[in-house]
């Protein structure tokens, strides 16, 4: 079974001949028994290890790692990362509210996104008794003008980075590729210059940002973007009275879902250091998936098996509303039995793991080799569900959202209660 299982491994509980999947040292079967399914289970180490690796890799240069809150917005996850020194990359007023709840310092917050509202701008400028946030990453002329008028009304200046679209192919899935001209994101090179020459009076142009896509497996695309970015910074500094003080390099790198070999965090960091050390620029990055992706799994219980000529269907109690990536953009998640004995029996059959939702798209994993012996009641673990898992969950088909559990060593705690029917209306 080729799966990214750093903090999730089969272990035999005391006095047991049977192995079960554990998160760190906690049995996932026990967690499912206690909290029910579907259930998100996270490992603290799963978040902290990649975060610390990023920090180490960027140590030679001034930097801020702003966790992309949209990838996993559980307040306990945010608190954990904040405690470890992370800032936050936000894309909505709701996320700003969460940042406030965990007391994230404003000077470590950037506000991204192509459609900020007036209310969101006001709230961000008012953050921490009016100290505000580190930067609004602005994506259009109209947005800049609106931000200017909001800042003027508050008699302040809004700190801004212009999001430059470097027209680079991130070579990732089209739905998570954002750095091409044809994407809705960012400003073209010429627009950046035009805006920078006519910065409105209540805007303070501090930086430039890029974000070319997610799940990037090829550092050369990033390097191409860095080169274009550096060139724009140099050009801007020729006429700006106050030079650009920081660049925001966007989201992190890809992770292993199946058999992808992502760049090493160390190499990614080294590439950044190579291009930006000595420039005097502070470096921001906004990783989500790199930190959270392999820190969590979604546990589901098998309901029924339906056998067909071509394949079997395993109908499980998790569905597309709990984990949207497979139906939204063909995201692949490895699926393994929680009971080790069912993992390598040699009686695997071609199986689709499907949820109960009334949509053919409600398939969590197609054409998987899974044991014929898996039957009603058996637990399956859907791996790499720590990022864009619960945070994308909804209640379609009036299905209450699942619970979330955090494991640390041999202990676990419920970090979000399962929704009930009463939460639905």
Ligand X SMILES: *Cc1c(COP(=O)(O)O)cnc(C)c1O
Burial of 25 (0-12, 13-18, 19+ CB in 10 A): middle
Among residues 66, 104, 358, 363, the one annotated as catalytic is: 358
CA 35 to chain centre: 25
Tell the smallest beta-carbon distance from residue 67 to ligand X (Å): 9
- Decide the pairing of beta strands 296-307 and 379-382: antiparallel
Among 159, 186, 250, 355, binds ligand X (CB under 6 A): 250
* Contacts for 241 with CB less than 8 Å, ≥ 6 apart: none
358 is catalytic: yes
Among 4, 87, 159, 287, binds ligand X (CB under 6 A): 287
Question: Which single residue is written with the structure tokens 């399962």?
Answer: 418
Q: Please identify, among the stretches 119-127, 248-256, 340-348, 371-379, the one whose residues bind ligand X according to the rule CB under 6 A.
A: 248-256
For 369, the enclosing helix (H) or strand (E) is strand 363-371
Q: Please identify, among the stretches 34-42, 68-76, 100-108, 403-411, the one whose residues bind ligand X according to the rule CB under 6 A.
A: 68-76
For 150, the enclosing helix (H) or strand (E) is helix 141-153
Tell the smallest beta-carbon distance from residue 111 to ligand X (Å): 10
Tell the smallest beta-carbon distance from residue 234 to ligand X (Å): 23
* Contacts for 126 with CB less than 8 Å, ≥ 6 apart: 132, 154
What whole-number distance in Å separates Cα of residue 87 and Cα of residue 104? Answer: 7
For 82, the enclosing helix (H) or strand (E) is helix 75-83
Tell the smallest beta-carbon distance from residue 252 to ligand X (Å): 4
Q: Does 211 bind ligand X (CB under 6 A)?
A: yes
Q: Does 46 bind ligand X (CB under 6 A)?
A: no
- Give the dihedral sign, CA 373/376/378/381: positive
Tell the smallest beta-carbon distance from residue 232 to ligand X (Å): 17
Question: Which single residue is written with the structure tokens 């620029």?
Answer: 281
The contact mask relative to ligand X for 334-373 (x = CB under 6 A, - = no) is ----------------------------------------
Question: Residue by residue, what is the 3-state secondary structure of 272-285?
Answer: HHHHHCCCCCEEEE
Buried b (16+ CB within 10 A) or exposed e, 236-254: beeeeeeebbbbbbbbbbb
The contact mask relative to ligand X for 373-392 (x = CB under 6 A, - = no) is --------------x-----
Q: Does 214 bind ligand X (CB under 6 A)?
A: yes
Q: Does 288 bind ligand X (CB under 6 A)?
A: yes
For residue 228 the two structure tokens come to: 């274009």
Nearest by Cα to 3 from 360, 415, 349, 336: 336
Reduced to 3 states, what is the DSSP secondary structure of residue 294?
Answer: helix
Q: How many residues in the shown chain lie near ligand X by CB under 6 A?
A: 16
E strand spans, 246-316: 246-248, 282-285, 296-307, 312-316
Between residues 57 and 387, which has the closer beta carbon with respect to ligand X?
Answer: 387
Q: Please identify, among the stretches 12-20, 250-258, 307-315, 330-338, the one whose residues bind ligand X according to the rule CB under 6 A.
A: 250-258
Q: Please identify, among the stretches 287-295, 300-308, 312-320, 338-346, the one whose residues bind ligand X according to the rule CB under 6 A.
A: 287-295
Omega within 30 of 0 (cis) for the link into 418: no
Tell the smallest beta-carbon distance from residue 164 to ligand X (Å): 12
Among 73, 92, 177, 290, binds ligand X (CB under 6 A): 290
Between residues 137 and 327, which has the closer beta carbon with respect to ligand X?
Answer: 137
Among 68, 124, 324, 363, binds ligand X (CB under 6 A): 68
Tell the smallest beta-carbon distance from residue 184 to ligand X (Å): 11
Residues in region 84-143 near ligand X by CB under 6 A = 89, 112
Q: Tell me how far apart the terminal alpha carbons of the chain are, to the nearest angstrom.
A: 41
Binding residues for ligand X, rule: CB under 6 A, are 68, 70-71, 89, 112, 211, 214, 250-252, 286-290, 387
Active site residues: 358
């Amino acid at each position: 079974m080729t799966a990214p299982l750093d903090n999730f491994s089969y272990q035999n509980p005391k006095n047991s001949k049977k192995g079960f999947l554990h998160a760190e040292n906690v049995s996932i079967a026990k967690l499912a028994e206690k909290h029910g399914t579907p259930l998100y289970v996270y490992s603290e180490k799963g978040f902290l290890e990649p975060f610390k690796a990023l920090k180490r890799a960027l140590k030679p240069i001034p930097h801020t790692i702003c966790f992309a809150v949209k990838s996993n917005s559980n307040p306990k996850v945010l608190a954990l990362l904040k405690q470890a020194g992370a800032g936050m990359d936000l894309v909505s007023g709701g996320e700003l509210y969460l940042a406030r709840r965990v007391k994230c310092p404003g000077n470590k917050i950037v506000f991204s996104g192509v459609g900020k509202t007036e209310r969101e701008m006001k709230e961000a400028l008012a953050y921490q008794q009016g100290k505000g946030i580190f930067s609004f990453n602005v994506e259009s002329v109209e947005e800049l003008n609106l931000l200017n008028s909001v800042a003027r009304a508050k008699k302040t200046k809004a700190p801004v980075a212009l999001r430059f679209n470097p027209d680079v192919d991130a070579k990732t899935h089209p739905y998570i590729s954002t750095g091409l001209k044809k994407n809705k994101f960012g400003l073209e090179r010429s627009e950046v210059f035009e805006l920078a020459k006519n910065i409105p009076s209540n805007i303070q142009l501090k930086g430039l940002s890029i974000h070319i896509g997610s799940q990037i497996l090829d550092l050369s695309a990033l390097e191409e973007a860095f080169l274009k970015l550096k060139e724009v910074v140099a050009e801007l500094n020729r006429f700006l009275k106050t030079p650009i003080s920081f660049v925001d390099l966007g989201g992190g790198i890809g992770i292993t879902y199946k058999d992808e070999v992502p760049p090493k965090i160390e190499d990614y960091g080294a590439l950044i250091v190579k291009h930006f050390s000595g420039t005097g620029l502070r470096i921001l990055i906004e990783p989500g998936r790199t930190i959270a992706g392999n820190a969590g799994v979604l546990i589901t219980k098998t309901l029924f098996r339906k056998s067909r000529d071509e394949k079997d269907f395993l109908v499980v109690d998790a569905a597309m509303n709990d984990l949207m990536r497979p139906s939204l953009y063909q995201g692949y998640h490895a699926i393994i039995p929680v009971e080790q004995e069912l993992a390598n029996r040699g009686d695997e059959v071609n199986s689709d793991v499907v949820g109960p939702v009334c949509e053919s798209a409600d398939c969590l994993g197609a054409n998987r080799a899974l044991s014929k012996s898996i039957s009603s009641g058996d637990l399956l673990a859907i791996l790499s569900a720590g990022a864009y898992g619960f945070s994308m969950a909804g209640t379609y088909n009036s299905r209450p959202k699942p619970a979330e559990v955090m494991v640390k060593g041999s202990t676990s705690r419920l970090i979000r209660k399962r929704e009930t029917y009463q939460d639905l209306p």
